Amino acid sequence: MKTAICLALLTATLISCNDKKDLTIFPAGCELKTGDIVFRRGGGISSHAVMMADRNGRYSHVGIVVDSAGKKMIVHAVPDEPDFEGDPDRVKMETPEKFFSPINANAGEVKRLKGDTIIPLKAAEYAMQTYRRNTLFDHDYDDSDTTKMYCCELVEFAYAKAGLTLAGTERHDISLPGMKKIRCMLPSDICNNKSLKKIIAF
């Protein structure tokens, strides 16, 4: 009897874990376009630190939508989200559902460049090139060095290469947990650009 109860509890736990793994806050039916910019806010320590520093913002992380063999994916630079043991912090490509997993996101938004169809496509291609060259995450948050990148740097770099600066020239002095003071862009510098229009917030 006890064995049967333990097996039942174990099965329920495994099913529950698998269900959570498959969950996403990304809205069903939301159609992304290549070059769209996606934002999320998480519940972790780093996310809270970014939110505390970013007084003008609602999000702590940003990525860009690309087309990978006809499927919309999100390229983003992120620390502390390994896909396997020994996986370095790097620029990753993930499905929208995984990018907006409740493990990493409790709110999100999709924005799109107003009126232009060429710049977003070019920006997405530059983002894909950055992903394909196995670019590591920039723990120094130094956007003058593009051999490594952090999330805002990646999106700004891709759009600037395509002909449009989104974040401008302002940089912020912030302190993240366990780090010295850094000077960097913040998600709001991109999100609040008036060239972008909101597609959906969730």
Residues linked to residue 63 through DSSP beta bridges, in sequence order: 38
- How many other CB atoms are found less than 10 A from the CB of residue 7? 10
Domains of the chain, earliest start first:
31-201 (3.90.1720.10)
127: number of Cβ within 10 Å: 30
Asked if residues 62 and 37 have their Cβ atoms less than 8 Å apart, the reply is: yes
What three-state secondary structure class fits 123? Answer: helix
Span 97-122, average pLDDT: 96
Bridge partners of 111, per DSSP, are 37, 198
> φ and ψ at 201, to 5 degrees?
-125, 140
86: amino acid identity, one letter: G
pLDDT of the residue at 125: 98
pLDDT of residue 186: 95
In DSSP notation, 9-21 reads: HHHHHHHHHHHHH
- Confidence (pLDDT) at 165: 97
CA distances from 138 to 105, 144, 147, 184, 187 (A): 21, 11, 8, 11, 16
Residue among 174, 75, 88 at smallest CA distance from 125: 75
Predicted structure pTM score: 0.86
pLDDT digits (tens, 9 = 90+) for 144-200: 999 999 999 999 999 999 999 999 998 998 876 666 789 999 999 999 999 999 999
**Which of 79, 75, 166, 80 lies closest to 116 in space, CA to CA?**
166
**pLDDT tens-place string over residues 3-55:** 444 444 444 443 344 444 569 999 999 999 999 999 999 988 778 878 888 88
Q: How does pLDDT run across 69-79, given as a tens digit for each residue? A: 999 999 999 99
Q: CA–CA separation, 124 vs 140, rounded Å? A: 24
With residue 26 as reference, give the H or E element that holds it.
none
